[in-house]
Amino acid sequence: MMEEKITTNGDETRQLGEQSAEYVRTGGVLCLYGDLGGGKTTFTQGVAKALGIKKLVPSPTFLIVRTYDLQDNKFYHVDLYRLQSEQEIEDIGLPEILSDPTNIVVIEWSEKLGNLLPNDRIDVHFEYVGEDKRKITIKNISEHS
């Protein structure tokens, strides 16, 4: 699966997030990449909305991970922007979070995952095209393909 879309406002990016939630509804990892202001948090708001989360807590600024309880599983919003070291990834328990296949995980700044990048994941790249224009590329990455 490979999908490329140009969005021209935040709502369109949010909608794309809502649609993309379907790929991970029963568990999975969405790895988001791209610079500040690219739309990663906006996209994550859409994912959260589709999962029935009423309000995503504003981008976890000091908290790197936020957990939301769903009916059958859990949703984790991870923002590695302020991450200092790979040790910190261990400290926040990300390996454990990623090892449970029923968890739904969205990771902003996945560039920083290093060795912890999961083999099976969906990569979402955000490119700034113009003030309100973003190019968003979604690609399924699987060990078995």
Contact pick of 14, 40, 77, 112 for Mg ion (by CB under 5 A):
40
Helix axes 10-20, 40-50, angle to 10 degrees: 50
Closest separation in Å from C-beta 93 to Mg ion: 20
Helix, strand or coil, per DSSP, at residue 10: helix
Instruction: Please report whether residue 20 would count as binding ligand ADP according to CB under 6 A.
Output: no
Residue 76 interaction partner, one of Mg ion, ligand ADP, none, beta carbon < 5-8 Å per kind: none
Instruction: Please report whether residue 128 would count as binding Mg ion according to CB under 5 A.
Output: no
Contact 2, 138 (CB under 8 A): yes
Residue 8 interaction partner, one of ligand ADP, Mg ion, none, beta carbon < 5-8 Å per kind: ligand ADP
d(CA 12, CA 86): 33
Instruction: Please report whether residue 123 would count as binding ligand ADP according to CB under 6 A.
Output: no
Closer residue to ligand ADP, CB minimum distance, 96 or 132 = 132
Instruction: Please report whether residue 59 would count as binding Mg ion according to CB under 5 A.
Output: yes
d(CA 108, CA 10): 17
Closer residue to ligand ADP, CB minimum distance, 40 or 96 = 40
Instruction: Please report whether residue 61 would count as binding ligand ADP according to CB under 6 A.
Output: no
* Beta-carbon contacts of residue 86 (< 8 Å; ≥ 6 apart): 114, 115, 116
Site for Mg ion in 8-27 (CB under 5 A): none
Q: Is 145 exposed, middle or buried (0-12, 13-18, 19+ CB in 10 A)?
A: exposed
Could you tell me the two tokens for 105? 């995980």
* Contact positions vs ligand ADP (CB under 6 A): 7-10, 12-13, 36-42, 108, 126, 132-134
